[in-house]
Amino acid sequence: MSQSPTPLLLSYQPPWQWQQFHAHFALRALAGVECLQPHSYARSAHLDGQRGWFRVQALADQPALQLHYSQSLQPCLATLTARVRKMFDLDCQPQQISAHFATDEQLGPLVARNPGLRLPTAFEPFEQAVRAIVGQQVTVKAAVTITGRLVSRLGEALQFADAPEIQRLFPSPQAIANANLDGIGMPGKRVQTLQHFAAQVASGDLRLDLQDGYTAFVERLCALPGIGPWTAEYIALRAFGEVDAFPASDLGLLKAPVWGVAGIDAKQLKARAEAWRPWRAYAAAHLWHNYSEG
């Protein structure tokens, strides 16, 4: 059996909360693709034609994550490292975020209470976009169940002696675009939205990147049938860690206890969020945390 390469240390500027990421993945982890333990997270990866796995471990004695990875991913180590740093938001400057929100009546106290909150971001943008489309108008739990069915039907099987819990890749755009998705558990319209989106990505007509800027990306997504502002903003935030993305109609943001019993409506929240630019996604992270505590 080939030995795994020497682990890397990925440093960050504290504060940073492993508990936030653990809670995020605990709700969303896909069996076979991801594996969450009390102090570590592992998943499959398909990078530059290479298939493999990686695992990150939170370290108690220093501000760093330890990155273990399969020998197969050694040739694309730079890409892997950059993706993992983005996924766990390790390049965030928390003092800058705290200073930006310090005087805000609602956000200031939330940020002061949890200065280490970051933006958990997907490892793979296409996977996150699929999750967002599947998750339209259903609970996170229901979306994970349906996405899990996509994985078990369409995900390429893997076998790693040194990571037996990692058993599948997330399905490719081509696989989802061409599949028979009868009985998958989604309304027909949403299946059409998902398969049209996957076909656009598979053909190269839709680029999943922010090269032309975040606003242009959101507009590109909203031009597709069945994708509205919430889905597009959520994909920008969770797939790319876009720091100013803000899904203003998100229920968790509208019902956060900070707004009082009546909550706030999407139009009011969108106007309120103008003061939070260019860090609106961090405002969303704190409001979601406030909602989960409430």
pTM: 0.96
pLDDT at residue 1, as a whole number:
42
Contact 27, 140 (CB under 8 A): yes
212-232 tens-digit pLDDT: 999 999 999 999 999 999 999
pLDDT at 4 over 90: no
Contact 137, 143 (CB under 8 A): no
101-150 tens-digit pLDDT: 999 999 999 999 999 999 999 999 999 999 999 999 899 999 999 999 99
Name all domains of the chain by residue range, CATH numbers in brackets.
8-96 (3.30.310.20), 125-293 (1.10.340.30)
| Contacts for 65 with CB less than 8 Å, ≥ 6 apart | 9, 10, 12, 56, 57, 58, 59, 84, 88, 90
265 is catalytic: no
Q: Phi first, then psi: give them for residue 55, nearest 5 degrees.
A: -140, 135
Identify the band that residue 294 occupies on the pLDDT scale cut at 50, 70 and 90.
confident
Name the residue type at position 154: L
Low-confidence winner among 211-215, 253-257, 259-263, 290-294 (lowest mean pLDDT): 290-294
- Bridge partners of 31, per DSSP, are 34
**What are the tokens at 224?**
């597709």
Residue in 162, 212, 250, 265 annotated catalytic? 250
pLDDT at 168 over 70: yes
User: From CA 132, how far away is CA 115, in angstroms rounded?
Assistant: 27
- The percent of residues above 70 in pLDDT, for the chain, comes to 99
DSSP 157: B
Peptide bond into 278 cis (omega under 30): yes
